[in-house]
Amino acid sequence: MNFSASTYQNEFLPSDATEVHAVVTVTATNGEATAATSPEKAVVLIVDTSGSMGQPSTKIRAARQALAASVEELPDGTWFAVISGSHEAMCVYPPTYATGEPPSLVRADAMSRAEAGAVARQLRPEGGTAIGTWLDMARDVFAGHPEAIKLAYLLTDGRNESEPHRNLEAALQRCTGVFQCDARGVGSDWNVSELRLITSTLLGEVDIIADPDEMDDDFRAFLERALGKAVADVRLRIWAPQGSTIKFVRQVAPTIDDLTAKATPVNPLTGDFPTGAWAGDESRDYHVCVNVPVGKVGDEKLAARVSLVVGDQPVSQALVKAIWTDDHALTARISPQVAHYTGQAELASAIHEGLEARKQGDNDTATVRLGRAVQLAHESGNEGTVKLLQKVVEVDDPATGTVRLKRGVAAVDEMALDTRSTRTVRVTAKPAAPADPATPAPGPEA
């Protein structure tokens, strides 16, 4: 497994500028990854079995089916466990509770797969929802396998209403760095920000399963991704010079996730930002912004050294530079990558603010922000987001962001937009981005 990192930026700054932006693309490629060198994989499937999963019963039936089918397909040797979650958590497989042993993982083989499938088919919906207890149980289950790549999948259909919110926060704190967790909300009675808190803290992805029929595919897709991971605990190690501050570090592709607050200091000038486990064929983009002390015209300085660290071993690095110049032709250029991802980040926040305003009944703000979102999604070729937006607004003109709010929007459509608003597209190879100079408009001959 090899990593490479490259920087996209305009390193030329006007004489009074201190803010340096760069996009760092990190790509993993399968070198000679062998079964012998790649670590063990452990997956924990956490399924909501609260009473609401039985109303309608299509939800629990789909969950039983999806869960059974996926455990029955686990490859030999995968470590796994199944947790049933309500107002309390129970590790239903392996059933260590029956013998009074502490919860643990079990290796997949013909017998364990069959037993787990049978248990999955008998899950009954009753009780409340206390997600913090589910996460704590997962942490206990994973405890015996510190070296494994540890991924959990959490499925719920409701809000975390059987425990105070601080319990969830405390559980998340205990689980941080122990395992990664994806979260799925079924239907429209769950809370997007609650699940986003979980996945943002535990380096996972949040998504909506609007229709229980989609559960089967989603479980499979999760396992495929999980089993494809080849390296655990990869970190971005960022050094910035004395007197500077790292303004933000953001994953910007495939989804937007702010890593700024997750830094662990390595030394006074260096911090580590967690990125979780990587597959052998993955590529992600990071937007790094550093405020450096102002330089004089002609100065060149390193604004950031971005290293990729596996274990404690730097495996690749990218340099972010700053060169101060009074040549406007140089400083006026903009890195297309930086511009693109700045737009994608604005797109996500425009959607968030638009939906929030709509909830508050502020239709003017909602129209403006969602209109801006349509414009940004359109400009950047983010067709997935355009489609989601079209379910919430009538688009009169995508180029100018002229939209009208739709009446009677389905809750699942609004939540799908909210949940998927952080998905980005990469820079398209369009010949001429209309950013600058301005798009040739009908105008007098200049």
The bridge status of strand 79-85 relative to strand 106-107 is antiparallel
CB of 418 to another protein, least distance (A): 23
- β pairing state of 245-253 and 283-291: antiparallel
141 binds another protein (CB under 8 A): no
Binding of another protein by 401 (CB under 8 A): yes
Our finding on whether 342 is near another protein (CB under 8 A) is yes
12 binds another protein (CB under 8 A): no
Count other C-beta atoms under 10 Å from residue 193's C-beta.
10
Size of the site for another protein (CB under 8 A): 57
Q: Does 319 bind another protein (CB under 8 A)?
A: yes
Crossing angle for the helix pair 165-175 and 131-142, nearest 10 degrees? 20
Q: Tokens at residue 208, please?
A: 């909506």
Identity of the residue, 50 or 375, whose beta carbon is nearer to another protein in the bound complex: 375
By CB under 8 A, which span of 132-140, 143-151, 288-296, 380-388 interacts with another protein?
288-296
Cβ atoms of 290 and 247 within 8 Å: the answer is yes
User: Which range binds another protein by CB under 8 A, 201-209, 221-229, 327-335, 415-423?
Assistant: 327-335
Q: What is the closest distance, in whole angstroms, from the C-beta atom of residue 378 to another protein in the complex?
A: 11
Q: Does 442 bind another protein (CB under 8 A)?
A: yes
What is the DSSP pairing of strand 149-156 with strand 41-48? parallel
- Distance, in Å, from the CA atom of 265 to the CA atom of 271, rounded to the nearest integer, reads 4
291 binds another protein (CB under 8 A): no
Contacts of another protein in 227-256 (CB under 8 A): 239-244
Q: Determine the Cα–Cα distance for residues 290 and 310; give it in Å rounded to an integer.
A: 23
CA dihedral 213, 215, 220, 221 (to 10 degrees): 100
Candidate residues 98, 261, 432, 438; the one interacting with another protein per rule CB under 8 A: 438
Q: Shortest approach of another protein to residue 343 CB, angstroms?
A: 8
Instruction: Tell me how far apart the alpha carbons of residues 267 and 368 are, in angstroms, rounded to a whole number.
Output: 44
Q: For the window 18-57, what string marks contact with another protein as x by the rule CB under 8 A?
A: xx-x------------------------------------
The side-by-side arrangement of strands in the sheet containing 245-253 is 2-8, 19-29, 283-291, 245-253, 257-258
Please report, as ranges, the residues that interact with another protein according to CB under 8 A: 14-19, 21, 239-244, 269, 292-293, 295-303, 305, 319, 322, 326, 328, 332, 334, 338-339, 342, 368, 371-372, 375, 397, 399-402, 434-446
